[in-house]
Structure 1
Amino acid sequence: MNMPIPLRWSLALATAVAVLAAALAAGSGGWDAGLILALRWPRVLAAAGVGALLALAGLVMQVLLRNPLADPYVLGTSGGASVGALAALLAGASQWVGAGAGALGAGALLLLLARSALAATDDASPRLILVGAMLAALFGAVATLLLMLTPDERLRGAIFWLVGDLSAAQDGGLCVAGAALLMAGLLWRGHSVDRLMLGAEVAGLLGEPVRRLRFELLVAASLAVGLAVATAGAVGFIGLVVPQAWRLAGVHHTRELAGLSALGGATLLVGADLAARMVAAPMELPVGAVMALLGAPCFIALLVKGAR
């Protein structure tokens, strides 16, 4: 489905405004300005920033690995950030630094282990997904061990990093700024990123510094995931679902994909958090679980489609 450019942007903006309005008005009190400013706006802003960060990180990882199924959650980067944040929590260090370091380490390890698959001339997608799944399982096991070592008074905060939750998120402005910075970088280097999608050899022949570009993309995506996980815990599948949805709508150039993915990721997570708040009200569900219920079937469908 090749949707015209004006229609794509109009649809994305209209959906974003509708979801934002619903998220701000949902709950007792309706459009009460005090409730919106004190309770709902910080949470909605955090959801928008985290969603945009994860969608852009997913887009970057799909370029790095030349795999449309790449996603920070599926490939273990979010798990690495969660492990880093948990380790920092136990050590009494900064959870922001821990999440960033964990995401960088997981991203570098993934790229190192995937080198042979990236150099292959055949379809390397199954091997890449398998490598990422094993890393995700490894980080999940390490996180469970760290959870067992966490003192009872810190246990609730530790579980937050594993399930994904926005109830206590207060750093939405920082996430929005980070997403804007990453999007600006992708807009600036859009042509270079498009060439990298053609393969390292072709990009090199076209004059692109492939190693430096890959390093820059890896650092940018890992820091984006670290910031998102430090704010909302491990929320999955946004980086998979959003860029793929826009590609199915006919968007293939990085510059347009970056803007639409950021907007789509923000809208999707705000909507998922709204569902998490309202489905079982007055009890709140973890938004990470809601996204897994939405994203896992999409991932399976895309995997089956690719196999066929």
Structure 2
Amino acid sequence: MTCVAFVVFEGFQSMALAAMPVFEYANFSAGEALYDVSVLSEHGRPLRASGGLSVGTEEFDERVFDTVIVVGGDAILQQAPEGVLNYLRASVKTARRTASICSGAFVLAQAGLLDGRRATTHWAYARDLQARFPSIKVEEDRIYVIDGSIWTSAGMTAGIDLALAMVEKDHGAELARSVAQKLVMYHRRAGGQSQHSALLDLEPKSDRIQTVLGYAREHLAEALSVEHLADVARLSPRQFSRAFRAETGQSPAKAIENLRLEAARQLLERGRLNLDQIAVETGFSDRRRMREAFLRAFGQPPQVIRRNARTDYAA
């Protein structure tokens, strides 16, 4: 059985514990006890999360855990309790994996466990993490990063993706997929996937523009000209372009390119299609145009993003 410990502290963010049910449902889906999960703290007493939820904990002791996961919270951004740091410094020597969720990366950094490593955290804290700990290579737009035995994830729900990746690494993709389905997840995001959603960034206000964006996302392989989208919205091209920019702050062409980039990046990370196929599937028409768009948006060509995703999976 794999023993997993979640390390918490006073004022932690309760959403970080949303990763716990991943291990619970792995047991349920497998029909056997694959994981045993504990919640630990320095003094082993009930602790209040930032939202007021009280959680019972067990005190740090000499038990050896396979996987140790430290959660996030604003309470530890500047300085985590010394007892927590000492526990992590000791446990990393015996644990197979040591991980953080969201701003929990600051705890690992304060303990010296991220020195010289690649890591990520919530996008809102990434630049602060890099500035305070310059020896870390912070990858601020990643869902999660694996560097040797150290795993770090982005904000809150990314912890679920991190835990699913652990289940997949331990027991295979089929079990991880079953757990994701039971958690009613649309899909498990790969580590290299962006923390940002193109549709969320657009935030259209009217049903008409939302309908157009939904249509575009389902028909990315098509030309999707302004005239075509205007027909979907039942507006003239001029009216549509004006309304679209007013609601999203972007031109239709720019928004469609962002949707194509997001879809292409997901396909790259899944690794099933070659670059020419992905370019056609996502409406770039050829790999040259797709490469140019990737360089504009990410500063990296598609091949590098695919290689990074494969490196994380192999790790």
Q: TM-score range by the shorter chain?
A: under 0.3
- State the TM-score, normalized to the length of structure 1: 0.23
More helix by share: 1
Q: Which has the higher contact order (CA 8 A, sep 6+)?
A: 1
Higher strand share: 2
Bigger-Rg structure (1/2): 2
